Amino acid sequence: MMSDNIYLLAGFAIIWVLTFVPSWWLLLKLLALSITARRTKRFFLYLFVYRLLIAAPYVFLLVFGQNVLPDIIQILIVGFVVMGLMFSVIRFFFSEKVVSWLWYVYGFVYDGLLHYAPYRRLTNQVVELSIKQQPKPRRILELGCGTGNVIVGLQDEYKHKIKVVGVDSSKSMLNIARRKCSEDVEFVESDITKFLSENETKYDLIIMQNSLYALDDRSDLWSKLGHTLTTNGSIVITNSDRKGSSSITKEHLRYGKWYELLHPKLLIVGLIDAFISQLSSTGKFHFLSEADIRSEIDDLYTMSEPIRTYGGVNILFYLRHKGKSV
């Protein structure tokens, strides 16, 4: 009896461990596919295999533990499997909410990135390029400002008085940004496209650090940015143009301390970033190449030669009005 229990537990543990990574991978894939409304045969196949993997260790218990496990435990296991199936359906049914939840949840752990050397370097590079482009701006706008790390960097460097506005659609990100930045920074909770449509103020410097890829519709973006920029203003942008977490981690090991990688918030950030990568493969997020960007902005702006950064997966560049009358 005792040895039956041990075999049963060992079998359960082995199947659980073996199915853990593939089931998480499938879950991210499924969430990404469901957001882009690709309810294809592939989606249902993934969903089927995902549920199978999740249920496998429990089905093993039920099949091989019939004579060992008390009835009540068997009933609880069946309830657990059925409830999981129901949650799965609910999760994919409300899939359109997932992106806004993603940014909301991300806000609670986002500053785990401050323990990541490539992120600190990227933010410093954005601040440096901004100062080089606009040594004495009067007004600065950051679109998709997150928890305000770029704004903090700018405020540390610029010594004169500047009006700074940060725009983001995530409440949790903005709550943290408000706590970190000085009181004269104005934070606006808004979608970037909506903000640009309604805004009438002009800015000398507009910054977008890793928010361009999240914009669904860029049809009017460049002209709206042009209307928001002063005649001699600059737009500083950094955006991922490819996937790849290992090269970023290698950069961390070159510039940071290895144990920083174990920070719990950073580990969750890693999981969320894996999901963002999945979304880029489904077309929900846009890791635009230099050529893509040049083709979109060509009539309106001159684009600087991009610098490759963030473990080689990001490009960093600035834009200037081509003519003086955009």
Ligand X SMILES: C[S@@+](CC[C@H](N)C(=O)[O-])C[C@H]1O[C@@H](n2cnc3c(N)ncnc32)[C@H](O)[C@@H]1O
Chain residues in the site for ligand X (CB under 6 A): 103, 144-146, 149-150, 168-170, 173, 191-192, 209-211, 214-215
- The residue number with the shortest CB distance to ligand X is 146
CB 213 → ligand X: shortest distance, Å? 8
Shortest distance, position 207 Cβ to ligand X, whole Å: 8
Q: How far is the CB of 209 from ligand X (least distance, A)?
A: 4
Our CB check for ligand X shows the closer of 118 and 144 to be 144
In the bound state with ligand X, the residue whose beta carbon lies nearer, of 46 and 318, is 318
- Shortest Cβ 109–ligand X spacing (Å): 12
Beta-carbon contacts of residue 152 (< 8 Å; ≥ 6 apart): 180, 181
Q: Which is nearer to ligand X, 144 or 256 (CB)?
A: 144
Nearest residue (CB) to ligand X, 181 versus 214: 214
Gap between the Cα atoms of 148 and 187, Å rounded: 9
Q: How far is the CB of 119 from ligand X (least distance, A)?
A: 7
Nearer to ligand X, 11 or 270 (CB): 270
Minimum CB distance to ligand X, residue 168 (Å): 5
The nearer residue to ligand X, 23 or 123, going by C-beta atoms, is 123
